[in-house]
Amino acid sequence: MDKDFEKIVELITQSKNKTYSIINKALVELYWKVGEFIYLKTQNTEWGKGTVKELANYISEKEPKLRGFTASNLWRMKQFYEEYSQNEKLAPLVREISWTNNLLILSKTKTVEEKEFYLKKCLQERYSKRELARQIDSAYFERTMLSNTQSSITAEELYPRIKEVFLDNYVVEFLNLKDDFSEYDLQKSILKHLKKFVLEFGKDFLLIDEEYKIQVGNQDFYIDLLFFHRELRCLVAIELKITDFKPEYLGKMNFYLEALDREVKKDHENPSVGIILCKTKDSEVVEYALSRNLSPTLVSEYETKLLDKKILQQKLHELFENE
């Protein structure tokens, strides 16, 4: 009986999502056409700035129940059309996300590349307004572009896109950790703010357990966090460190991955991946340590405070200039 009920709930949910998608596309299309109309009128100098304000007042008088057609919003619709009308690549994408998210991307991003990045991320990760705002404020685009994820050769052979899936640097300001936090504090805070942690890592991460126990011989071992990644279709073991990366961390991770693949991984799943998440790391030490490592392991670091977005933007600008 429960399975029948679940099926009904699933049908309702699918229908609601489909309806929302249709309504959203219709709204965005409406705002696009209004923006186009205003753009053409102002371009032909038929309308001045005062005319748009008059239009807003006219709409308010004629259709008092209509909301969202203030003078400032009408100008945003014009800007929206103006920004994307000549871009055949991005114009279809804006119709697939909410108007609220479109406005965030329009107002808080500068380059076409940045806009494209967040438009695609909205579609891929289904960001809410709050989630998208956080990603933009945390310079997710800049961090992704500047990321130099360090992984073993095996990881790259098994998963050619692994450096696109995992970042070199993660920002976990939402954990609100004290200066002298322990690994236990870090782990418990991640679990407390799991939704935000998954947002930072990507919504394809599904938590299996904390302190995941694996038994080898007569001994018990515990993995800090064990996830499953939907796109890679594999288990992901995360070891948390509050210090700089040390080469000996790899031996422990290799052991965990071997145990997971032998005892936990299902036949249809891919080999397990390990992430050693450190407070800091020396890239050269990591490169030496990973050069002969045979397990699919990555080493990343985390920041407990938001990075200066302007500094990251400058670094990205310098990177593009030197290419």
Number of structural domains, the chain?
2
Q: What is the mean pLDDT of residues 54-77?
A: 91
Count CB atoms within 10 A of the CB of residue 94. 24
Average pLDDT, the chain: 92
Contact 172, 303 (CB under 8 A): yes
Show the tokens assigned to 258: 């071997």
Query: Is residue 179 domain-shared with residue 122, that is, in the same domain?
Result: no
DSSP SS3 for 235: strand
Query: Is residue 230 domain-shared with residue 280, that is, in the same domain?
Result: yes
* Of residues 279 and 9, more confidently modeled: 279
| Digit-coded pLDDT (tens) for 78-88 | 999 999 999 99
CATH of residue 255: 3.40.1350.10
pLDDT at position 301, please? 96
Q: What is the mean pLDDT of residues 86-103?
A: 95
Range of lowest pLDDT (45-54, 132-141, 278-287): 45-54
Domain boundary among the residues 118, 140, 162 is at 140
Question: Global pTM?
Answer: 0.87
Range of lowest pLDDT (204-208, 297-301, 316-320): 316-320
What's the rounded Cα separation, in Å, for the pair 34 and 80? 10
* Of residues 14 and 68, more confidently modeled: 68
pLDDT surpassing 90 at residue 249: yes
Domain boundary among the residues 92, 109, 140 is at 140
| Three-point CA angle 267, 268, 272, nearest 5° | 80
Range of lowest pLDDT (90-104, 184-198, 241-255, 303-317): 303-317
pLDDT surpassing 70 at residue 2: no
pLDDT at position 67, please? 85
Q: What is the mean pLDDT of residues 272-292?
A: 96
Range of lowest pLDDT (47-56, 90-99, 199-208): 47-56
Q: Which domain holds residue 299?
A: 144-309
Contact 247, 285 (CB under 8 A): yes
Query: Is residue 70 domain-shared with residue 28, that is, in the same domain?
Result: yes
Residue 321 lies in a domain: no
Query: Is residue 178 domain-shared with residue 304, that is, in the same domain?
Result: yes
pLDDT surpassing 90 at residue 1: no
pLDDT at position 284, please? 96
Query: Is residue 128 domain-shared with residue 203, that is, in the same domain?
Result: no
Residue 320 lies in a domain: no
